Structure 1
Amino acid sequence: MLNKQLNKSLRSLFALLVLVMGLGFSTTTLAADEQSSKQQAAKDNPAELWRAVKGGETGRTTAQGIEPGVLINVGGNEGRIIRDDYITPAVALALVGVFGAFLVFYFVNGPAKLTKGFSGKMVERWSKADILLHWIMAIACLILMLTGLMIILGKFAIQPYVSASIWAGVIAFSKFVHDWTGPVFIVSWLVCIVKWMPLQTIKMYDLKWFLVVGGYINFGPFKGKHPDSGFANAGEKMWFWTLVFFGLFISVSGMMLVLPGLDLPREASMLALLVHGVSAAILIAFTIVHIWMATALSEGGMESMVSGYCDENWAIQHHNLWYDEIKANGTLKYQE
């Protein structure tokens, strides 16, 4: 009796396995038939084939490496549209819009004059190492900006007006210089962060600096308002932390785009390109502001990054808390 029940159970189990295998085989066969039907339909109808390729459908190719079966990457194509429709105009706006806004502001407001004029006594502010480091990073940053603008905007502003051979030389040279200047910027950027970060901590009095626009307004209720400031004012701190974060984004994305050993999926490469473009637009805008503030809008401001010394009245007016500190602790040093 027990053997009969066991045999019956085994027959039932065997029948169940056969059924499952049969269903699996049928499903596989149907899927294969469906795929074969699609391929045959594509062969018979080129429009259907092109529609499938544009939709990102994979197939078999002789290509090697990552994603060999993808002829058109949908994500990469969408990223290209985002770059062309949004990021490129944003870069152009950062260049023309911010520069134009500050130019208008300068003609309306004028520079921030020293209330008591120049004292003639120069106070040490930066070391020679600081000056060298600043200018290495600044020159590298400007070269990257100019070559990057040529790469992203040159096809609109220059390519239509020159021959194909000239444009090929210009764009090849721009990319070569851009790629090899990148490491110089990254190294100097890292050293600047480590060296200057202790001077860039946010303080409560920095809020007032923004409320009175740093004392740069020469009319209305803000005229003559000189807010408290340490070694770095609130605007300089905002520039520094923008450089920290977006410098990181632009450095990492740039390495992803140029390092030959990386075999990235198309989506990752396109994401890196988009991050690179957005970061570039933000850094270009802030760099223009930084240059305007340090040169045209601040009387005597550029001198400290040329000689390392600033006028004593400039230090008192724009960085009073720092001046009081070095005077109190005996580190105040005049130029001999």
Structure 2
Amino acid sequence: MFRLLAVIALLFGLIGPLSAQETVPEPRAETGGAQTLDDILRRQNAQKVDDEFRRRNIGDPEAAPALSSPLGTLGGASDADMWRALRYDVADVTTLQRGPAARTLIQDGGMWWLQVRRGPLLVYGGGLLVGTLVLLLIFYLLRGRMRIEGRRTGRTITRFKAIERFAHWLLAGSFIVLGLTGLISLFGRKLLIPVFGLEAFSTVAIVTKWLHNNISWAFMIALVMVFVFWVAHNLPHPSDVKWLLRGGGMFGGGHPPAKKFNAGQKLVFWAVILLGTSISLSGLSLLFPFEFNLFGHTFSALNDWGVPGWFGQDPLPYPLAPQEEMQYAQLWHAIISLVLTAVIFFHIYIGTVGMEGAFDAMASGEVEEQWAREHHSLWLKDLEPTREDRIRRSKRA
């Protein structure tokens, strides 16, 4: 009899924990559905908080008390319920303005964008540009200017036609204006307002925005022209590997052979084309807000492919509010522009003070024959039959 009672007690002891495991208590039962201490601590530690309980708590018009009732909320939703509905963009909103973003009155997701724009974007972006200039200055002091080593011949060779130079200077000029106006827009609030005041900066900001928006079209047109003119000359070639292994001749004597564009120029070309295209696309989405969306569709595709999981990350946010599309586009536009500006600093350095004779190629289109022989010997070799034919024809005439 004692053994039978022990077995029954043991069975009840096993069933008890099993039933307790099946019944999982509601984590917010003690708070009446409100946030818990764990929610607050997770939010303070910048961890993800499941706010589905807030999204659902937006009132219930069907459960509204009678008008004669002294208790309850009028219409079935309190002020807090209404603000939660506005915050999560589920409220029935009617506005005079029509458009994708007209119904979104509260978009609290923009706080992260504001914090990134005020902090890391300015710090790291400014550090990238200043650091690049410092590195170039140090390199110039250590290496000096790359001179033409051989004896000048006094003969010149046409390197770029007039239409090519026009496309280059249109691209360069528009990029400089866009870069300056973009930096004013990005750093102006932090650096210029304390110096010139709000009213003066307001005038500068208005002019800056107008220039940035309109000159962007010249940049995009020039980008297409440059691509069409030079893409065939910027495809990979076996000589590029030797050029890279020897550092382009910047260290030590002699220059590695190269075609019309060496490996360094090809890297700059593709950086300008790829980054410039990305800047143009994000710029178009900013010029035509809520009409040309890039990031929502991209995030959805990346989530479908499981890309965030490859890096142990949560799925990317989707769907995006119209304002969030603009915020992602603005950050992307600024980050890629800063990277391309750093690349262009190197390009400007080599084309001006860094290398003797390089600027002539885009100034007059003509370069000294000895310069071409030292820096682009393969290109010069390809031109020699044509030059010999011209000499023969001139002698016959």
TM-score where L is the length of structure 2: 0.68
Structure 1 residues 76-129: Cα deviation after superposition (integer angstroms, max 9, x where no partner): 332333333333333312321111110111011101112114332211111111
Matched, 1:313 2:370: yes
CA contact (8 A) 2:246 2:256 kept: yes
Tell me which of 122, 141, 162 is aligned to 1:107.
141
Across the two proteins, how many residue pairs are aligned to each other? 298
Q: Structure 2: which 5+ residue stretches go unaligned? A: 1-55, 65-71, 294-321, 392-397
Q: Which has the higher helix share?
A: 1
Matched, 1:185 2:219: yes
Tell me which of 236, 255, 275 is aligned to 1:246.
275
Matched, 1:32 2:64: no
Instruction: Measure the CA separation in 1 of the matches of 2:290 and 2:236.
Output: 40
Q: What does residue range 258-297 of structure 1 map to in structure 2 within 5 Å?
A: 258-259=287-288, 262=291, 265-297=322-354
Matched, 1:255 2:284: yes
Return the offset for 1:330: 3.9
CA contact (8 A) 1:133 1:192 kept: yes
Tell me which of 130, 151, 158 is aligned to 1:96.
130
Q: Please, which moves more after superposition, 295-304 or 60-69?
A: 60-69
Partner amino acid, structure 1, of 2:378: L
Return the offset for 1:260: 6.5
Instruction: Measure the CA separation in 2 of the matches of 1:215 and 1:127.
Output: 27
Return the offset for 1:215: 0.9
Return the offset for 1:67: 4.1
* SS of structure 2 residue aligned to 1:126: coil
Return the offset for 1:296: 1.1
RMSD: 3.0
Instruction: Measure the CA separation in 2 of the matches of 1:117 and 1:72.
Output: 71
Cα–Cα, structure 1 residues 117 and 55, in superposed 2: closer, same or farther, change >3 Å? farther
TM-score where L is the length of structure 1: 0.79
CA contact (8 A) 1:216 1:297 kept: no
Matched, 1:157 2:185: no
Instruction: Measure the CA separation in 2 of the matches of 1:248 and 1:329.
Output: 36
* SS of structure 2 residue aligned to 1:123: strand
CA contact (8 A) 1:58 1:71 kept: no
Matched, 1:71 2:92: no
CA contact (8 A) 2:61 2:76 kept: no
Q: Please, which moves more after superposition, 250-259 or 62-71?
A: 62-71
Tell me which of 50, 54, 59 is aligned to 2:91.
59
Cα–Cα, structure 1 residues 294 and 54, in superposed 2: closer, same or farther, change >3 Å? farther
- Percent identity of the aligned residues? 27
CA contact (8 A) 1:212 1:227 kept: yes
Return the offset for 1:187: 0.7
Partner amino acid, structure 1, of 2:195: Y
Q: Please, which moves more after superposition, 248-257 or 68-77?
A: 68-77
Instruction: Measure the CA separation in 2 of the matches of 1:172 and 1:150.
Output: 11
Return the offset for 1:185: 0.7
